[in-house]
Structure 1
Amino acid sequence: MSTELVVEDVDLFYGRVQALRGLSLTVGTGEVVALLGNNGAGKTSTLSMLSGLYRPHKGTVTWQGEDITRTTPWDLVRRGLVQVPEGRRIFSTMSVHENLQLGGYQVRDPKDLAERIDAVYEMLPRLGERKNQQGGTLSGGEQQMLAIGRAHVGRPRLLLLDEPSMGLAPLVVKQVMELVKSINDDGTTILLVEQNARAALRIAHRAYVIESGRVALSGPASELAQDRAVIEAYMG
């Protein structure tokens, strides 16, 4: 397995507040890697930095052997790094179909874009049934599916998922995680930020536990799921 993403010794500040402290991690081709941790641990900061929204003050980020530490967000999307943000952030007054079209804003061939959207409808038939419905009228679970579907239109090589289970009922969480696993099974590499450690570790290959912007634990997901410290801190 080759390593696609390498984050090495990254520091990130918001003004005088340090969010990441010497953070290092890797994501291999075809993996689901989970980032676990409490609120304020640095999970979302990690994804925001990887998406180019914030630049690290120290350290490097390498993607497929190239340094992308200073790359713009739109160039990162072109390279295949696509984020599904926390809270879904769909366009609530636009239709489901229009939201999906925006996910392919860099696709120049209209026929190619239509085929990509049709593939999302095939993967998520409920969205197809609601293609003309305003996004804001969907249920929370349907909005999360739409946010993931919108990202999928961009054909990501690395999908960055930020808290996809947030605010969802347990049955819907299961459906979302099954979708994430299905996308990974089709060949998409995934970096998954998730507070629901139990759900994340079920589908992840490896995981990192972040505390105060640092990696506190890492290893195979199956081993971390049995780790007493992880169980007590994140699984109850």
Structure 2
Amino acid sequence: MKLTLENVELYYHRVHALRNLSIEVNEGEIVSLLGNNGAGKTSTLSLISGLERAKSGRVTWGDKDLTKMQPWDMVGAGLLHIPEGRRIFSTMSVHENLLLGGYLVKDQKLVQERADHAYELMPRLAERRDQEGGTLSGGEQQMLALGRALVGGPKLLLLDEPSMGLAPLIVKQVMDIIKQINAEGTTVLLVEQNARSALKIADRAYVLESGRVTMSGTAAELAQDARVIEAYLGA
């Protein structure tokens, strides 16, 4: 199913966060949103997942009008949002965190199968299965957040700054995991300040500035664009 934002306007009181924003994410793609702090990237994800409501415009996912759905209904439909900061349950074990990802899934056998698959995809989690989430490293917590989302059975995954605070080697591991999740059939909308890593795995990207799209194209095109290189990739 295609995700479409059409002419979206979003305000936080008097702050105009998104301005006539229009983007598309086709089924099976990884699309990245690039931009500096305050560009509107997190606001876009929050709008899609129902945490914020637009003043005007339309957000659709296939035949679903997301502006009229509650966030928990979106989760049940397969739209899952991993916010910045991972938001794992620090006093619960890795395994308990994973199982909570399937809280809307009635088939407990399926929940266990998905948890097992998360362990296969991220063996580090299997090694930490009984460890409290709060004792994990930043990279391990990000893997746990990804695994918990996988147990929910995502069709569309919204990721907000998954590489934040991680060492370069761990960033590569996380990006490889995201690429594998996508290869297994999940569409991904990725917000990421690490533009170099994002463009390596994305099919397409949009650049946001002050709530507007200022550039868009394939990841390869943007990686070669002088303006992107100067602003986000370094010389």
Offset at 1:205?
Answer: 0.4
Find 2:198's aligned residue among 197, 200, 213: 200
Q: Which residue is 1:222 aligned to? A: 220
Residue 63 in structure 1 maps to residue 67 in structure 2: no
Offset at 1:67?
Answer: 1.5
Distance 1:165 1:229 in 2: 23
Answer whether contact 1:55 1:70 (CA < 8 A) is retained: no
Which runs of 5 or more structure 1 residues have no equivalent in the other structure?
A: none
Tell me which amino acid in the other structure corresponds to 1:33.
Answer: V
Q: Deviations over 1:9-63 (max 9, x none)?
A: 0001111111100100000010000000000000000000111001100000011
Q: Which residue is 1:125 aligned to? A: 123
State the Cα RMSD in Å.
Answer: 0.8
Answer whether contact 1:103 1:153 (CA < 8 A) is retained: yes
The two structures have a TM-score, normalised by structure 1, of 0.97
Q: Which residue is 1:139 aligned to? A: 137
Residue 15 in structure 1 maps to residue 13 in structure 2: yes
Distance 1:112 1:27 in 2: 28
Count of paired positions? 234
Tell me, what secondary structure is at the counterpart of 2:33?
strand
Distance 2:111 2:199 in 1: 33
Q: Which residue is 1:209 aligned to? A: 207
Tell me which amino acid in the other structure corresponds to 1:36.
Answer: L
Q: Which residue is 1:187 aligned to? A: 185
Tell me, what secondary structure is at the counterpart of 1:225?
helix
Distance 1:178 1:118 in 2: 19
Equivalent runs, 1:76-91 vs 2, <5 Å? 76-91=74-89
Tell me, what secondary structure is at the counterpart of 2:88?
coil
Equivalent runs, 1:44-55 vs 2, <5 Å? 44-55=42-53
Equivalent runs, 1:151-170 vs 2, <5 Å? 151-170=149-168
Distance 1:17 1:123 in 2: 41
Q: Which residue is 2:38 aligned to? A: 40
Find 1:25's aligned residue among 23, 26, 43: 23
Distance 1:185 1:109 in 2: 24
Q: Which runs of 4+ in 1 moved over 6 A?
A: none
Offset at 1:65?
Answer: 2.4
Tell me, what secondary structure is at the counterpart of 2:2?
strand
Distance 1:111 1:177 in 2: 29
Q: Which residue is 2:148 aligned to? A: 150
Distance 2:226 2:63 in 1: 36
Q: Deviations over 1:66-112 (max 9, x none)?
A: 22212110011111110111011111111001111111110112211
Q: Which residue is 1:233 aligned to? A: 231
Q: Which residue is 2:99 aligned to? A: 101
Distance 2:195 2:224 in 1: 12
Which runs of 5 or more structure 2 residues have no equivalent in the other structure?
A: none
The two structures have a TM-score, normalised by structure 2, of 0.98
Offset at 1:162?
Answer: 0.4
